[in-house]
Amino acid sequence: MTATSMGRIAGRRTAALTRAAGRDPALTVVATLCALIVLVAVCAPLLAPDDPTQTDILHQNLSASGAHLLGTDALGRDILSRLIYGARLSLLGPALVVSSAVGIGTALAIASAWIGGPFDRVVARILDVLFAFPAILLAIVAVAIFGEGLAAPVVALAIAYIPYVARVVRSVALRERHLAYVDAGRSLGFSGFKICVRHILPNVGLMIVAQATIAFASAIMDLAGISFIGLGVQPPASDWGLMVSDGASALLNDHPVETLSAGGAIVITVVLFNLLGERLSTVSEVRR
């Protein structure tokens, strides 16, 4: 087997996974909806009707109207604008968490699967230790040490999510490790690094994306919870978890729109990204 034929075999498997994902109608619909949510966050300045931080104490807790489609909050701020702008930080934080966790977790997983032996056992023990710490608790401890804001919870959650990604990716990488194209690459004199990066990594790519998507949904909930208790994103910035907290008092006074709209945005986004991750995972498993 030549290097060219080896690349063709690995490439065909990757292409087959991609085509299978494209033929799944449910996956297409869910992916489109997720993309729309991301697009709303990116285009927030173009879509928001008002400045989300502009207060107007003369127009507090207004009901929905032509001027304010979802009404206003306790400070007279337009709820729809805050909801749209809130998507930015509500998605940015989880994106930072997942990109860090996936990058480190994938590197550890593939290296562990390839090297094996004592290195694999040490990595497994480190992951077991990280599993012992609940993500939300680790984030709260980080905030207590480094202060309120988005940075500390993001770093803490990224560390807490590494074992969840690494454990799944390692199991898939181990299967790839013993396939014929890997043996062919070794017989051709390819380095372990080259085989891992150019061949194993692309073939486990769909599973990595699936795990990243599921982790993204979990990170949305965790960071929203941190913001809800006042330890995450700080006013006057807009964040869905913070909006749920800010609207709690208005909810008791028969003005539930802020809390319900932000809470609904969290639920819908989490469900969609979970569904996307599950469909990607199913496609990846079926085609192996």
pLDDT over 60 at 103, yes or no? yes
pLDDT over 90 at 101, yes or no? yes
**Of 161, 145, 57, the residue nearest 104 (C-alpha):** 161
Average pLDDT estimate for 110-135: 88
What are the distances in angstroms from CA 45 to CA 75, 94, 257, 262? 21, 21, 22, 18
Residues 38-53: pLDDT tens digits? 999 999 999 999 888 8
> What CATH number is given for 3-47+87-235+263-286 in this structure?
1.10.3720
Residues 141-190: pLDDT tens digits? 888 888 888 899 999 999 999 999 999 898 888 888 877 777 777 777 77
Average pLDDT estimate for 222-240: 89
How much is the pLDDT for 285?
66
How much is the pLDDT for 44?
93
Whole-prediction pTM? 0.86
Residues 43-89: pLDDT tens digits? 999 999 988 888 888 888 888 888 888 888 888 899 999 999 999 99
Sequence-ordered list of residues with C-beta below 8 angstroms from that of 272, at least 6 positions apart, any chain: 30, 33, 34, 37
Q: Which residue has the higher pLDDT, 91 or 8?
A: 91
How many CA atoms lie within 13 Å of 131's alpha carbon, on the beta-carbon side? 11
| Residue ranges per structural domain of the chain | 3-47+87-235+263-286
Q: What are 119's two structure tokens?
A: 């290195």
